[in-house]
Amino acid sequence: MATIEIENVECVSSSDAIEDEEIQSSVHVHPHNFPSKPQNTVSSGIAPTSVHELLECPVCTNSMYPPIHQCHNGHTLCSTCKTRVHNRCPTCRQELGDIRCLALEKVAESLELPCKYYSLGCPEIFPYYSKVKHEALCNFRPYNCPYAGSECAVTGDIPCLVSHLRDEHKVDMHTGCTFNHRYVKSNPREVENATWMLTVFHCFGQYFCLHFEAFQLGMAPVYMAFLRFMGDENDARNYSYSLEVGGNGRKLIWEGTPRSIRDSHRKVRDSHDGLIIQRNMALFFSGGDRKELKLRVTGRIWKEQQNPDAGVCIPNLCT
């Protein structure tokens, strides 16, 4: 089994004129190919948990990346936390100075580790310094809660978030691919940036979030409805939806592709990717004395199916 002799690692001050290749170290970690499904141990014989502990910052517990700093007693920490601890070692309270642990940085360069979402199904193996970039975009990473009425920090897979929306946010759940909702507001002139309603629909074995809200667009208050897909963007492209609102012999129709919940609610809203109704038009649709907002929004979701003979997509409508 490979061993790491920490006492023989030579760390030097970054102010010294010593080139990287002059650093002498007894640490030899050779990259190996991992199996397609990550196991509990790395093929080099070093347990992944041991490697993570070696490169884990004692302050923030995140993985350390160059520059990795150390005190005169050999305690290491990341560059972000070095400023947070006011240049004092959090372990022994000695002054940190400008000492870099170049050997530990070399160790990190030689490592290949599984994605941190391997337990969620990601089979990928990456060099240590490439891992973070991949993990920020990994398709297996948890989803953020799509509820827009609060800054909810809950993350998880789709079944977890569906239960969370139903139990914690009390969101209405519907089965089917058509909807017919009425939105009423007694004083439509009081418009603020706030979500009015979120409804979750289950159809085609997938979940969709229908948002409807009022917000200020420049100087004009508007109402907006749009659909988000509870899954990744590539899967969202397999579906389309339409929204319709009207009254007094007039109507507006929107058709589009639902956005993935990977895109935040605010990002979708600010891109105006949905049905937008100006307040004057909304009041016209409401009828009456224009003092109360009464909008009926209808719509449907369908799945696009590829026709191999014609090379075109045909809609698959649910009943």
Matching residue, tokens 């800054």: 151
Across the range 70-85, mean pLDDT stands at 88
pLDDT, averaged across the chain? 78
Which secondary structure element, helix H or strand E, spans residue 83, and what is its range?
helix 79-84
Across the range 251-274, mean pLDDT stands at 93
Distance CA 274, CA 294 (A): 19
Threshold 0.85, pTM exceeds:
no
Query: pLDDT tens digit string along 197-230?
Result: 789 999 999 999 999 888 887 777 888 999 999 9
In terms of Cα–Cα distance, which of 53, 77, 72, 55 is closest to 11? 72
8 Å CB contact between 101 and 75: no
Across the range 242-254, mean pLDDT stands at 92
24 exposure class (CB count in 10 Å sphere: 0-12, 13-18, 19+):
exposed
Query: pLDDT tens digit string along 22-37?
Result: 333 333 334 344 344 3
Long-range contact pairs involving 87-92 (C-beta distance under 8 Å, separation at least 24): 90/58, 90/59, 91/58
Query: pLDDT tens digit string along 284-317?
Result: 888 767 677 888 899 999 998 755 454 444 556 5
Distance CA 20, CA 18 (A): 7
| Residue 38 pLDDT exceeds 90 | no
Confidence of residue 163 (pLDDT cuts 50, 70, 90): very high
Distance CA 103, CA 76 (A): 12
Neighbours of 269 (CB within 10 A): 21
